[in-house]
Amino acid sequence: MMGWYREQVVPRMANALLSTKTTGELRERVCADLSGTVVEIGFGSGLNTAYYPAAVAEVLAVEPADVAWRIAEPRVAQVTVPVKRVGLDGQALPLDDAVADTALSTWTLCTIPDVGKALQETLRVLKPGGTLHFVEHGRSESQSVQKWQYRLDPIQKRLAGGCHLSRPIDELVTSAGFEMVRLDAYQQPKEPKPFGWFFEGIARKPA
């Protein structure tokens, strides 16, 4: 039953919950400096396609959910940027070293089981000096909110396909070998505090 829920329900739920005006504004901001060959980790239902800038030459999409990919097809068809599904697992990218100029992750790092391995794989496929552009939710700076995040994590993981509320996204990115170029960490207005601590930034692979 949980397998069916995760495969059929979670991708549709994510498509609905992450297609708001607010998330669109964040996607536009995070995608603004993408260029060249982009590896998108957790392509989902293609909600970022509307925000790819003209500097993007192609997108190599990594997405495990077939349902999400089917939902994405009309969005992919509407953009001139070539989008190719190249893999199912961010923890093991079927790509050569140093093939991408930039990488993109939007509300994905919370869910990947071995997020450290996925970030190391992203680092591997980026060219030296290439950048990872991301917006994620994760562990709040408030200890009282953190306590609620830890309490809610088991429920959140079951309901949201393995999503964690309490991951320290900034620490995970730098631990994988990236250099942080820019980072904004903030409480998103009108979001419940355990769910609304956001990390938005750019990290670089050392040259």
pLDDT of 190 = 85
pLDDT of 1 = 53
Banded pLDDT at 2 (limits 50, 70, 90): low
pLDDT of 3 = 78
Q: Is the pLDDT of residue 10 over 70?
A: yes
Q: Is the pLDDT of residue 6 over 90?
A: no
3-state secondary structure of 108: coil
* pLDDT, tens digit (0-9, with 9 covering 90-100), for 115-126: 999 999 999 999
Please name every residue paired with 83 in a beta bridge, in sequence order, or none if there are none: 59
**What is the pairing mode between strands 100-106 and 36-41?**
parallel
* pLDDT, tens digit (0-9, with 9 covering 90-100), for 60-84: 999 999 999 999 999 999 999 999 9
What is the residue type of 147?
A: K
Q: Is the pLDDT of residue 49 over 60?
A: yes
Cα separation of 18 and 132, whole Å?
Answer: 20
Cα separation of 125 and 103, whole Å?
Answer: 9
pLDDT of 126 = 98
The DSSP result for 147-203, as a single string, is: HHHHHHHHHHHHHTTT--S---HHHHHHHTTPEEEEEEEEEPTTS-TTT-EEEEEEE
* pLDDT, tens digit (0-9, with 9 covering 90-100), for 86-132: 999 999 999 999 999 999 999 999 999 999 999 999 999 999 999 99
CA angle 97, 33, 14 (to 5 degrees): 80
The distance in angstroms from the start CA to the end CA of the chain is 47
What tokens appear for 64 in the block? Answer: 């495990």
Q: What is the pTM of this model?
A: 0.95
* pLDDT, tens digit (0-9, with 9 covering 90-100), for 137-172: 999 999 999 999 999 999 999 999 999 999 999 999
Domain that holds residue 73: 2-204
Q: In this structure, how many other beta carbons lie within 10 angstroms of the beta carbon of residue 160?
A: 18
Q: Is the pLDDT of residue 16 over 60?
A: yes
Q: What is the CATH number of the domain that holds 87?
A: 3.40.50.150
Mean pLDDT score of the chain: 96
Cα separation of 7 and 139, whole Å?
Answer: 26
Mean pLDDT of 174-200: 97
Q: In this structure, how many other beta carbons lie within 10 angstroms of the beta carbon of residue 154?
A: 10
Task: Give the count of domains, the chain.
Answer: 1
Torsion, Cα 181 44 154 139, to 10 degrees, reads 20
